[in-house]
């Protein structure tokens, strides 16, 4: 789920992707890395034509990505640790066949921005920052009450990552977290995230890269 090519919500595994296409994508990603002799963390990105089912190579990001927690959740692998170990010359310690998915994971990006004013950045000092402590929720953030969000950098405040057995349960965890989340001092995109996650199209997985701007914004 993205807006102006910037991701807002990421998930794994991709919903409504047939096994044959998934297998082709993963095989091509591995072949790409092997062909260039790449030996570290990276993300191979593809775009899929929803009408024809064709997929096309987009780019490879040779680094850790913002959405890496969803991969960590479903594979039970610490990607940052592995990246450091590989850079230190240590062997990977597992094969491709050892990588299996466990459950479903969805990450949403909580941003300091005023959605009603064209997603204008909303810098300021936090008088309150509370995220509920839920069993199936991971929160990556550096913020607390009293922290300042400057106007010079990315507006990302926190990443909320839910991991549950099924996709519906994962969505429900995130909705509960966002409903109970409390931030004062800046505007956030919390209401937008709730609207997306609660939308029937998202629940059914019938979304595309331009869906957010067509259906919500």
- State the pLDDT confidence band at 44, using cuts at 50, 70 and 90: very high
Bridge partners (DSSP) of residue 7 are 2
Residues 57-98: tens digit of each pLDDT: 999 999 999 999 999 999 999 999 999 999 999 998 899 899
The pTM of the full predicted model, rounded to 2 decimals, is 0.94
| Rounded Cα gap, residues 139 and 163, in angstroms | 11
State the average pLDDT over residues 29-42.
Answer: 92
pLDDT at 39: 86
- In this structure, the dihedral spanned by the alpha carbons of residues 167, 168, 174 and 180, taken in order and rounded to 10 degrees, is -170
DSSP letters spanning the chain: -EETTEESEEEESPTT--HHHHHHHHHHHHHHHHHTT--S--EEEEEE-TTT--EEEEEEE-S--TTHHHHHHHHT--HHHHHHHHHTT----S-GGG----SEEEEEEEE-EEGGGTSEE--EE-SEEE----TTEEEEE---TT-EE-SSS--EEEEEEEEESSHHHHHHHHHHHHHH-EEESS--SHHHHHHHHHSHHHHHT---TTHHHHHT-
Per-domain boundaries in the chain? 2-215
pLDDT averaged over the chain? 94
State the average pLDDT over residues 155-173.
Answer: 97
Bridge partners (DSSP) of residue 178 are none
Active site residues: 63
Which fold would CATH assign to domain 2-215? D-amino Acid Aminotransferase; Chain A, domain 1 (3.30.470)
Residues 122-143: tens digit of each pLDDT: 999 999 999 999 999 999 999 9
Are 74 and 12 in contact by the 8 Å Cβ rule? The answer is yes
């Amino acid at each position: 789920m993205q807006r102006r090519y910037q991701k807002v919500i990421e998930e794994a595994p991709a919903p409504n992707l047939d096994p044959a296409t998934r297998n082709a994508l993963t095989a091509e990603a591995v072949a790409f890395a092997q062909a260039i002799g790449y030996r570290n963390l990276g993300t191979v990105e593809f775009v899929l034509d929803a009408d024809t089912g064709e997929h096309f190579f987009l780019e490879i990001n040779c680094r850790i990505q913002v959405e890496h927690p969803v991969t960590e959740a479903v594979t039970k692998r610490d990607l940052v640790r592995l990246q450091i170990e590989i850079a230190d010359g240590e062997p990977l310690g597992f094969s491709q066949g050892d990588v299996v998915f466990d459950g479903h994971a969805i990450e949403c990006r909580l941003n300091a921005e005023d959605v009603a004013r064209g997603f204008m950045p909303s810098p300021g000092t936090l008088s309150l920052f509370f995220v509920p402590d839920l069993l199936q929720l991971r929160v990556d953030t550096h913020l607390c009450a009293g922290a300042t969000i400057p106007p010079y950098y990315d507006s990302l405040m926190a990443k909320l990552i839910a991991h549950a057995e099924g996709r519906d349960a994962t969505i429900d965890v995130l909705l509960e977290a966002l409903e109970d989340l409390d931030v004062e001092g800046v505007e956030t995109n919390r209401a937008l995230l709730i609207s997306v996650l609660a939308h029937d199209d998202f629940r059914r997985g019938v979304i595309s890269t331009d869906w957010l701007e067509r259906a919500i914004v």
